[in-house]
Structure 1
Amino acid sequence: MPGAPRFGTVSYTVGTTFNGVDLNENFGVSVASAGDVNNDGVPDLIVGADLDDVGGPNYGSARVISGANGATLHFLTGGAAEDFFGHSVAGAGDVDNDGFDDVIIGAWVADPNGQESGLARVYSGATGAILHTFTGNSAGDRLGVSVASAGDVNGDGRPDLIVGVYQEDNNGQNSGSALVYSGVDGALLHTFNGSVPAEMFGTSVASAGDVDGDGQADLIVGAPGDDVTATNAGAAYVYSGATGALLYTFNGASSGDNFGVSVAGAGDVNGDGRADLIVGANLDDNTGVNSGSARVISGATGATLYAVNGAGVGAQFGRSVAAAGDLDGDGCDDLIVGAPEDRATAGSARIISGATGGTIATFVGDDGDDNFGFSVSSADDLNGDGFDDLIVGADDDETNGLVSGSARTFLSQQTNLLDNAPAFTEHDPGVLLDGDVAIADAEFDFANSYAGGTLTLARVDGANVDDVFAGSGALSLANGQVLVSGVAIGDYTDVGGELVITFNAAATTVRANQVLRSITYVNASHTPPASAAIQITFSDNDPVQPQSVSGVITVALTAVEDLPLAFDDAVSAAEVGVLTGSVFADNGSGADGDFDGPPIAVGQVNGAIGAVGQPVLMASGAVLTVNADGTFTYDHGTLFNTLPGPLSGAANRTFSETFTYGLVTGQVATVTVTVVGEDGGLDILLGTAGADDMDGGAGDDQVRGSAGDDLLDGGDGIDVLVYAGSTSGVSVNLAAGRATNDGQGGADSVSNFENIAGSAFDDLLVASGAANRLAGGAGADTLIGLGGADVLIGGAGAANQLQGGDGDDQYFVTANDSVIELAAQGRDRVLTDRTTFTLGANVEELVYTGAAAFTGRGNGLDNFIAGAGGADSLSGGVGRDVLSGGAGVDRADYSTAAAGVVASLALGAASTDGDGSNDILIGLEDLRGSGFDDRLSGDAGANRLEGQGGGDVLVGRGGADILSGGGGIDTADYAAAAAGVTASLTAATASNDGDGAADILESIENLIGSAFDDLLIGHAQGNILTGGAGRDTLLGLDGADTLAGGQGVANQLFGGLGDDIYVLEAVGDTIFEAEGAGTDTARVAYNLLNLAANVENVVYTGTGGFTVVGNALANVLTGGAGLDTFTGGGGNDTLNGGGGRDIARMSGTAAQYYFADLGDGRLRIVDTVAGRDGIDILNDIEAVRFSDGTITEISALPAPALSFKSVAGPQVLPGVDDVFSFREESIPSRLLRPDRDGFGGHDGSMFQAHADDWLF
C-alpha cells in the first residue's frame, strides 16, 4: 500500500464539545461537515437531534454551527410531532449556486404521505430557507433514514443528492430503496430498489466518489438485512452515478453481521487515483459477539483492501464510518469508524490509516452510556493547518440530562518537524542536527520495521568532505554498522561528507527515529562558511512505487583560531609491570608543541576532559594515567602474563592497544602501547600458517597451531590443544599423539596435552585415557573419552556424538547430541541447556543449565534430575529418582506411570511412583499424576496438582492451589486443613482452604472437609461430600449425591434434586430435602432417628438396637442386627427388621388392622382407619405393638378354622394350600368394601389367598 514518508507527526486534541440543550434531545445522533455555509473561509458543521421537543414531542432539530467560533448559524426544526427531524444530516454542497454551501436533513418518521412515510429537506446555507422537499410515497416508507450529497452524478456542474427509504415495499415488505435527486431542481434522477423483502436497502447511503473513472460521481447504498450470504449478513451496492448501472455488490460474511449498516466513500486510500469505499458491519463477531468490523474496498477493482475489527465483545465497531481526509500527511486518505458500545458503552471512534489499516488514534467517550461514536464525520480543516479535523457524536451523553447528547470536534496539530537551527563552533563537539524530529511512514510504522529504508545526509550544494556526521547518546556509527543501544539496526557508508544509512529489520519505528534524532554534525574546515545547509532525505525504496521526503537543516558555523599540534606515539612495555613516559616526547612521529602559543597541556584522555590526571581503565584492563604535563603511566601488572615468550615459537608474543589524548587547545593524538611477552606459565600460544614448533613449557597453557604440519608440546601443567581457528573439521587423538587433520590441511604431532578445544566444524576428538576435557565446537562432533572422569562438551550447532567410556563422565549437551554410555562405566551426568531432554541408557544424572522452562525425563536407573530457574517439568520414570526443581514453579510429572502414584510435596517424596519404586522431591511446586488412581499432596505454597485419568485424591495443603482432577471421579481432600473450609464445586473454587488461602477446583467431583466447621457445595452431577468432625453444612444441589456430615457435632445436609444418600453419624444431623426432589436414603449410624420430611428411605448402619420413626411418605425403613423399633408413620411403608427381635409400632388398636401373610417372613398389615398408618409391609418383624400397649407376636396371630368362624379379630391366612368357604351375609359390613385389600378396585370381601387357596 502506498503511503508517502514525511518528517513530523500529526496528533489530535479535543476541540469544542457541543451539547444538547434538554433531556432526551438525542443531540449528536447525526453529525457532518456542512461545508462553508456562511462563506467565511472556514468549514462549518451540522448536528442532528431527532428527539428534540422544541416544537412538540420529538419534532427533532438540526443545528448548523460555525466552524470559526462555534456559534449557531441556523437552528432548523421538524414540522410536526414525532417527525424525528435531524435523524440524518449531511452537507449538500452548493446546490443553488449562490456561493454558499447548503445542507440536507432527514425526518424519517414524518407523515407527509401517510404515517411514517418520511421526508428530507434541503436548506440554503446562506439563509436557512427550504430549497427542496422530498417525501416518501407511502405510509411506513421512512424516507430520510439516511441522506447524503451524491456528488455531481449528472454532469451539470451542481452537486446532487441521495436519500434512503429503507422500508419501502417495492420488492416486498421493507425491501427498501434509495432515491437520487437533482440538486438543481429536485427532479428524481435514479431510483435504486432492494431486491427482496426485509433487505432494508437504503439504511445507509453515500457518494462513492468516481470509482469507475468516468468523471462523474458514483453512489453506494447499504442493505444490512440482505440474506444472500446468510440471514442478515447484509450487503452494499455501488451504482454508476452517470447511468444508474450496478457496478459492484459486496456481501457480509456471516449471519447477523449487519454489513451495510453504514457506508461511505473512503477517498483514495491506496494511491491508485480512484475513489475507494468503506462499509460497516457493526454486529460482526470476528473478535467477540457484536464486536463489529469495517471493510475497506478498492473502488477500481472491488477487491477488499483490508478489514478492521472491533476491540471486543459488544463494541459495535462500524456502526458509523466516514472518510477522514489525509490525517497523517502520508498522501493517502484516512478513515474514521465509530464503535458506540465500546469501552463499557462509553463508546469510541478509531482513526484508521488508509494506507495500512493500522490505528492512528482512538477517541473515547467520557462516561458509560454516552454512545460516543454513534455518528462520525470529517469536519474538514477547522483550524487551517492543512490537515482535516473530525467530529464525533455521542447521542446518549447526559451532560444536560438523560440522552441530551453531544458532539465533539477533534483538531489536528503537527509536531516533531524537521525545523531545528543548530550552531557549530570550530573544534567544538558535534551538535545535534534535530533532537526531536520524527520520521513517519505508514507501511514501515504498521510493520514496526524500517527495513530497506535509507536516510541520506549531505550538503545541499553537494557532499563536502568537511561535513562530519556521527552518532550520539544511544546511537553508534562504527565499522559500517548502525547500533542503537547495542542493537545493530542497519549499515552505513560515510564517504566524502555524505552519510547514507540503510535500515534492517531490527530498525523499529522508535529506533529509526532515535537514529535521526541522535546524528551530530561537525564541520572540519579551518575556514568554514557562515552556514552549511544539510539536506536530510528519507527514501522508502519501494520496488514498485518508491517515495521519499527531504528537508534541510541549516547549521550556523563559527571559525576559531587553530590549535597546536599533537603527534601519534608508539611505546613498548615488558610483560609484567608499569610503563612510564611522556606523550609530548618524540615517540616515533615527532614531539608535540604549540609554536606560537603558551606551553601545551593535556586537556582530555580518550575523549574525556575529566580523565586528565585520573586513572582510566583501558579495554585490556590496564590502568592508564595521563597528566596535564604529558607524563603518563601504563600499569598493566600481570594482565599479559599469558603472552608466550620469545622461545615459545608462538606468533602472539606481543600485545598492542591504544589510547588518545588531546591538548587543551590542540588536536588529538593516538598512543600505541606494545607489551612484549616472556616465557612463563599460563601462556596462550598462537601459531602461523606454516609449520610451527611450539612448546608451552611450565604452567597451564593453551596452544593453537593454526595451519601447517605443527609440532606441539603442551609441557607441564594442564594444557589445552586449541583448534578454534580451523577452517574445517579436525581429527585429534591424544592417546596416539596425533592430529591427523588439523582442519587447515596439515597434520600435527601433539604431546603432553590434557584437554582439546575443537573447531567450528565436524571434529573427531579422542582422549588419552586419563581425565580429559574435550570441547567440540559448532560442528557435528564425535568425542570419545576412553578411561578417566572425562568432560565432553559437544557444543552448539549440529548434533554431536559423545561417548564417555569408563569413569564418572560429564556430558555438556547444547545441540541434539547422542550420549553413548555402556553399563557399569561409572556414574555419569548430562548438563544441558536444551529445553527438553530425555536421559539415554546407562546415564544416571541430568542437570539443566539454561534459564528457560525445562522438561527433563529419566530412564530405568535411579536418576538425579535437576531443573534451574524456569518452570521445569521433571519425570524420573522407573527407578528411585531424585527430582530437584530449583528456582521457578516446577513440576514432578508422573503421566507415564504404569500405576497410581502417591506423592507429597510437603514430605518431599513420592512414596509410590507408579513404576514400582519411590522418589525424592526437592524444590517442586506442582505435581502431575498418572492415568490411574493417584493421591497427590501439596505443601504450604501455591501448588498445581493435576490428577489426569483415574479416581484421584488431591490435597492442596495451604497456598493458593489449583486442584485439577482430570478424567475419572476425583476428590479434593481438606481433611488436614487447620481451620474450616468453604468449597464449591459449582463455583469451582475453595474460597477458604482452611489454611489461609483459596484454591481453584477443576474437574473435581467429590469433597472431603476438615475437622472443623466446613461449607461444602456440590454441582449438577452426583457428588460425595464428606464433612469431617466439625459442624458442617453440605449442599448437594442437583444429581444423586452422597452427603456424609461426619462424626462429632451435628451437621446440616441439603441434598437438592436427585436420589441422594445422607450418611448420619453425628447425633443431631439435620436433613433438608425439598418435596419431590428425588428418592432419598438416610444411612444412620446412631440408634434413634425421626426421619426428616421428604426423605423416603432409612438404612441403619450402626450396632445395637435402633429406633426409627418414618414420615408421611411411603418409607422403606431397614434395621440392623439388634432389637429395632419401627414406626412407619403415614404412607404405605416397608419395614425391614433384619437380625434380632424387631417391633413394628402402629397408631391404632389391634382390632383396627388386618394382616396377610405373604410368605418368607413377610406380612402385610392394613390400617382400616383412613389417613393413619396405611398399608405396611413387614419383613422379618417379630412383633407388632399397638397404641394401647398391646404387643402381638406375629407368629401367634391365629389362622381361621375350616368352618364358620367369627371374624371379629385379625385373621391370618397361612401360606399353604387351603380351602375357605363363608356366607357373605356372615361377613361384617366393614369387610364388604369396594376396595377390600386396600390396593384399589372393587373386591367385595377382604381376604387374601396364597398359593392354591380357594375362597367360596
Structure 2
Amino acid sequence: YVVFGTTSGFSSTLNLSTLNGSNGFAINGIHSLDRSGTSVSSAGDVNGDGIDDLIIGADGADTNGNAGSGQSYVVFGTTSGFSSTLNLSSLNGANGFAINGINAGDESGQSVSSAGDVNGDGIDDLIIGAHFADPNGSKSGQNYVVFGTPRGTGNSDLVTGTSGNDSIEGLTGNDTLLGLNGNDSLIGGDGNDILDGGTGSDSLVGGLNNDTYVVDVAGDVVVESASAGIDTVQSTITYTLGANVENLTLTGIAAINGTGNTLDNLIFGNSAANNLTGDAGNDSLIGGDGNNILDGGTGSDSLVGGLNNDTYVVDVAGDVVVESASAGIDTVQSTITYTLGANVENLTLIGIAAINGTGNTLDNLIFGNSSNNSLTGGAGADSLDGGDGDDTAVYSDSSSGVLVDLSTGTGSGGDAAGDVLSSNIENLSGSAFDDTLIGSSVNNGLTGGVGADSLVGGNGSDNLSGGDDADTLTGAGSGDLGIGSIDTLTGGAGSDLFVLGGFYNDGNATTDGIADYGLITDFSTALDVIQLSGVASDYVLAASPIGGISGTAIYKVEVVDELVGIVKDVSGLNLTDSYFQFI
C-alpha cells in the first residue's frame, strides 16, 4: 500500500481499506504465492522525469517458467494521480515495468532499494537482491544494479539526457528527446517525435508517425521503418538520406550538401552555398540564399532557387525550375532540349546528345554541347556559343527581320538586336520577315525562311536556302575569291537573285576552277535571275563537268575557261536572255 503524505495531518489510525486514490492506493500482486511486497522501497527517480518512483519485490514469482526465480516491479510516479488500486499486471512500460529474476529458486526481489546515482549520470539507479542465487555455488546470493535512464510517458514529453552515454525512450506522445553529450541511443516511440542526440555519435530510432532527427556529427545514425510517417532529418553537416526518410533540411551557416534517396524527397538548403541532389523519385529541392546547385536526379522534380546565383540540373521533361525575379544570375544545365522559364538568365546544354536550347526575354547566355545544337536566344541581347559540333542560331520567333553577320559575330534588328555569336555558330536560320544573313570563313548553312532575304555565304563551302519570297543568294562575300569553296544556292519559292559575280574566279587562268563554284539547285527561267560580273561575252555555257550533277555550267573565259557556276538540271540557257544580269 502507498499512503500519500499530507500537510493536513493524520488521525490516530488509518485503515488501509480507506485508500481511495486521493489519499493513497493499493498495489495488487499478480499470482498466488508471488509474495509481492516481500520488500518495498522508494526507487528514487529512475526515469528522469522529476518524480519519485517505487520498487516492489515479489521473491516467490515464477518468471520465464522458473519457479521461485522472483520478480521486481518499478511503478513510475505521476502527477496525473492514481486510482484506488494498481494491478502490477497492468505495468506497460509507460506506467512502470517488471524486472525478471534469472534462475529457479533465486528469489530475486527478496530485497529491493534505490541505489542512488551510482554511475553518476544524474539519474537514480536500483539495487535488487537475490539471496538464494548461486553464482559461486552454495546459494552464495547475488545482487543486481539496474541503471536508471530517462524515459518518456504516454504524454508529449521533453526528456533530456546527461553528459554521458544515455538511452532514452519516448514511448507514445509527441516527444522531444535530447541526448546532450555522449554517444546516446534515442528511441522515439509512436508520436511525432524530435530526436536530437547532441554532440556524440548517436543512434536515433524513430517510430510511427512523423519524426524529426537532428544530425550534427558524421557518426549519427538514423533508423526509420518503412511506412512509418513522413520523417525529416535536420542536418548541420553534409548528409545523404537513409532508407525510409523522406525529407532533409540543411541547417546552420556552413556550406554543406544534401542528397536524397529513392523516395519523393523534400530537401531544403540553408543560407550558405549548397549542392542539393534528389536522386530517384519526384523530388522538391528548395535552395536558400547561397549560390546553390539543384539536381533533382531521375524523377520529375521541382527545383526552386533562392537569392544569388543558382544552377539547376535538368534531365527529364518533367523537371520544373522556379526562380524569382532579381534573385541572382541563374543557369540551367540540361541534358534534354530545353526552353528557359521566367527569371533564369543562362542555359548550358550538357551531355553528348544533339539537343536544342531556347532562351527567354532576358539577356541570355546560351552554350551548346559537343553535338549539333540549335540555339534560339529570343528577345534580349543574347550571347550564343554552340561549342563543338555544327551549330545553328535560330531567329524563327522574331517579330521582325534580322541582320546577323557570323564574320563579325554580331546581330541587329528583331530578336537579333544586341546578340553576340561566337565562332562556334556555323549556321543561321532567319525569321518570317526580310532577313540579311551573312556567313563567315567556315562552311555555313544560311536559311532565310519566309521573307525577301539576302544570304551571303562568305569564304567557305556554304549552303544557302532562301525559302519563300524573292531572295538574294550570294555564295561568297565581297572581296572573297571563293577559292576552294563550293556553295549550294537554293532560292525556294519566289523570284530569286543568284549572285555569282566574280567570286568563283580563283585568279588562276591556267586551271578550270572546278574546285570552287556556285551550285544553283532550283533555278527557274521564268522567275529567277543569275547575276555575273562583266558582260555576256566574258562567259560561255557548257554541260556540267561534275560527275553526278547534270545541268548547265557557266565558265568565265580565260586561257583555260574558269568554272563559276552550275545551274543544276537546267539546259538550253542563253547568256543574252533576261534571266542573266551583268554588272
Q: TM-score range by the shorter chain?
A: 0.5 to 0.7
Secondary structure, aligned partner of 1:871: coil
Q: Does the CA-based 8 Å contact 2:450-2:467 persist in structure 1?
A: yes
344, 347, 368: which is aligned to 1:927?
Answer: 347
Q: What letter corresponds to residue 980 of structure 1 in structure 2?
A: G
User: Given the two structures, how large is their TM-score scaled by the length of structure 2?
Assistant: 0.58
User: Given the two structures, how large is their TM-score scaled by the length of structure 1?
Assistant: 0.29
Q: Structure 1 residues 717, 794: closer, same or farther in 2, change over 3 A?
A: closer
Q: What letter corresponds to residue 893 of structure 1 in structure 2?
A: Q
1:903 is matched with: 338
1:1153 is matched with: none
Q: Structure 1 residues 809, 1145: closer, same or farther in 2, change over 3 A?
A: closer
In 1, Cα distance between the equivalents of 2:451 and 2:49? 85
Q: Structure 1 residues 721, 865: closer, same or farther in 2, change over 3 A?
A: same
In 1, Cα distance between the equivalents of 2:246 and 2:462? 59
| RMSD of aligned residue pairs (Cα, Å) | 4.3
Q: Structure 1 residues 777, 970: closer, same or farther in 2, change over 3 A?
A: same
Tell me how far 1:996 sits from its aligned partner: 7.6
Whether 2:235 is the aligned partner of 1:795: answer yes
2:9 is matched with: none
Whether 2:465 is the aligned partner of 1:1064: answer no
Q: What letter corresponds to residue 538 of structure 2 in structure 1?
A: A
1:730 is matched with: 184
For residues 704-1103 of structure 1, the aligned pairs below 5 Å read: 704-707=160-163, 718-723=174-179, 725-726=180-181, 728-735=182-189, 754-787=193-226, 788-793=228-233, 795-797=235-237, 800=239, 802-805=241-244, 809-813=246-250, 821=261, 827-833=264-270, 835-840=274-279, 842-877=280-315, 881-887=318-324, 888-894=328-334, 897=335, 901-905=336-340, 924-929=344-349, 930-992=351-413, 994-995=414-415, 997-1002=417-422, 1003-1051=424-472, 1053=474, 1055-1056=476-477, 1057=480, 1058=482, 1059=485, 1060-1065=487-492, 1066-1069=494-497, 1071=499, 1073-1074=501-502, 1076=505, 1078-1088=516-526, 1089-1094=528-533
Secondary structure, aligned partner of 1:983: strand
Secondary structure, aligned partner of 1:811: strand
For residues 114-263 of structure 1, the aligned pairs below 5 Å read: none
Q: Structure 1 residues 923, 973: closer, same or farther in 2, change over 3 A?
A: same
For residues 413-562 of structure 1, the aligned pairs below 5 Å read: none
Whether 2:69 is the aligned partner of 1:649: answer no
Q: Does the CA-based 8 Å contact 2:366-2:385 persist in structure 1?
A: yes
Note the alpha carbon deviations across 1:103-158, whole angstroms, 9 max, x for none: xxxxxxxxxxxxxxxxxxxxxxxxxxxxxxxxxxxxxxxxxxxxxxxxxxxxxxxx
Q: What letter corresponds to residue 1015 of structure 1 in structure 2?
A: T
Note the alpha carbon deviations across 1:516-571, whole angstroms, 9 max, x for none: xxxxxxxxxxxxxxxxxxxxxxxxxxxxxxxxxxxxxxxxxxxxxxxxxxxxxxxx
Q: Does the CA-based 8 Å contact 1:980-1:1013 persist in structure 2?
A: yes
Q: Does the CA-based 8 Å contact 1:811-1:831 persist in structure 2?
A: yes
Q: Structure 1 residues 817, 979: closer, same or farther in 2, change over 3 A?
A: closer
Q: Does the CA-based 8 Å contact 2:312-2:333 persist in structure 1?
A: yes
Q: What letter corresponds to residue 781 of structure 1 in structure 2?
A: D
Q: Structure 1 residues 722, 843: closer, same or farther in 2, change over 3 A?
A: farther
Tell me how far 1:1093 sits from its aligned partner: 1.4
Q: What letter corresponds to residue 1025 of structure 1 in structure 2?
A: L
In 1, Cα distance between the equivalents of 2:383 and 2:284? 28
Report which of the two structures shows the higher radius of gyration computed on alpha carbons.
1
Which structure dedicates a bigger proportion of its chain to strand? 1
In 2, Cα distance between the equivalents of 1:1138 and 1:1006? 24
Indicate the structure whose relative CO is greater, using CA pairs within 8 Å and at least 6 residues apart: 2
Q: Structure 1 residues 711, 947: closer, same or farther in 2, change over 3 A?
A: closer
Q: Structure 1 residues 817, 924: closer, same or farther in 2, change over 3 A?
A: closer
Tell me how far 1:957 sits from its aligned partner: 1.3
Note the alpha carbon deviations across 1:162-205, whole angstroms, 9 max, x for none: xxxxxxxxxxxxxxxxxxxxxxxxxxxxxxxxxxxxxxxxxxxx
Q: What letter corresponds to residue 789 of structure 1 in structure 2?
A: G
Note the alpha carbon deviations across 1:604-653, whole angstroms, 9 max, x for none: xxxxxxxxxxxxxxxxxxxxxxxxxxxxxxxxxxxxxxxxxxx9739xxx
Secondary structure, aligned partner of 1:995: helix
Q: Structure 1 residues 969, 1117: closer, same or farther in 2, change over 3 A?
A: farther
1:1112 is matched with: 538
Q: Structure 1 residues 1138, 923: closer, same or farther in 2, change over 3 A?
A: closer
Q: Does the CA-based 8 Å contact 2:258-2:276 persist in structure 1?
A: no
2:137 is matched with: none
Note the alpha carbon deviations across 1:348-383, whole angstroms, 9 max, x for none: xxxxxxxxxxxxxxxxxxxxxxxxxxxxxxxxxxxx
Tell me how far 1:960 sits from its aligned partner: 1.9
In 2, Cα distance between the equivalents of 1:715 and 1:1039? 79
In 1, Cα distance between the equivalents of 2:471 and 2:164? 94
Secondary structure, aligned partner of 2:415: coil
Tell me how far 1:730 sits from its aligned partner: 1.7
Tell me how far 1:958 sits from its aligned partner: 0.8
Which consecutive unaligned segments of at least 5 residues does structure 2 have? 1-47, 52-78, 81-119, 125-148, 507-515, 577-583
Q: Does the CA-based 8 Å contact 1:865-1:884 persist in structure 2?
A: yes
Tell me how far 1:816 sits from its aligned partner: 6.7
2:115 is matched with: none
Tell me how far 1:1050 sits from its aligned partner: 4.2
Tell me how far 1:801 sits from its aligned partner: 6.0
Q: Does the CA-based 8 Å contact 1:1111-1:1130 persist in structure 2?
A: no
Q: Structure 1 residues 1081, 714: closer, same or farther in 2, change over 3 A?
A: closer
Q: Structure 1 residues 1146, 783: closer, same or farther in 2, change over 3 A?
A: closer
Tell me how far 1:943 sits from its aligned partner: 2.2
In 1, Cα distance between the equivalents of 2:332 and 2:541? 51
Note the alpha carbon deviations across 1:203-254, whole angstroms, 9 max, x for none: xxxxxxxxxxxxxxxxxxxxxxxxxxxxxxxxxxxxxxxxxxxxxxxxxxxx
In 2, Cα distance between the equivalents of 1:777 and 1:1128? 81
In 2, Cα distance between the equivalents of 1:1137 and 1:1013? 25
Tell me how far 1:954 sits from its aligned partner: 0.8
In 2, Cα distance between the equivalents of 1:1031 and 1:781? 70
Q: What letter corresponds to residue 1031 of structure 1 in structure 2?
A: A
Tell me how far 1:783 sits from its aligned partner: 0.9
In 2, Cα distance between the equivalents of 1:1144 and 1:694? 104
2:27 is matched with: none
Tell me how far 1:830 sits from its aligned partner: 3.4
Tell me how far 1:698 sits from its aligned partner: 9.9
Q: Does the CA-based 8 Å contact 1:939-1:958 persist in structure 2?
A: yes
Equivalenced residues, count:
402
In 1, Cα distance between the equivalents of 2:538 and 2:330? 58
Q: Does the CA-based 8 Å contact 1:1034-1:1045 persist in structure 2?
A: yes
Q: Does the CA-based 8 Å contact 1:722-1:756 persist in structure 2?
A: yes
Q: What letter corresponds to residue 389 of structure 2 in structure 1?
A: G
Q: What letter corresponds to residue 975 of structure 1 in structure 2?
A: S
Q: What letter corresponds to residue 963 of structure 1 in structure 2?
A: L
Q: Structure 1 residues 780, 962: closer, same or farther in 2, change over 3 A?
A: farther
Note the alpha carbon deviations across 1:306-362, whole angstroms, 9 max, x for none: xxxxxxxxxxxxxxxxxxxxxxxxxxxxxxxxxxxxxxxxxxxxxxxxxxxxxxxxx
In 1, Cα distance between the equivalents of 2:379 and 2:567? 47
For residues 620-659 of structure 1, the aligned pairs below 5 Å read: 649=50
Tell me how far 1:942 sits from its aligned partner: 2.4
Q: Structure 1 residues 889, 730: closer, same or farther in 2, change over 3 A?
A: same
For residues 14-25 of structure 1, the aligned pairs below 5 Å read: none
In 2, Cα distance between the equivalents of 1:818 and 1:964? 32
For residues 223-372 of structure 1, the aligned pairs below 5 Å read: none
Note the alpha carbon deviations across 1:422-460, whole angstroms, 9 max, x for none: xxxxxxxxxxxxxxxxxxxxxxxxxxxxxxxxxxxxxxx
In 1, Cα distance between the equivalents of 2:201 and 2:305? 30
2:86 is matched with: none
Q: What letter corresponds to residue 957 of structure 1 in structure 2?
A: G
Secondary structure, aligned partner of 2:404: strand
In 2, Cα distance between the equivalents of 1:961 and 1:789? 48
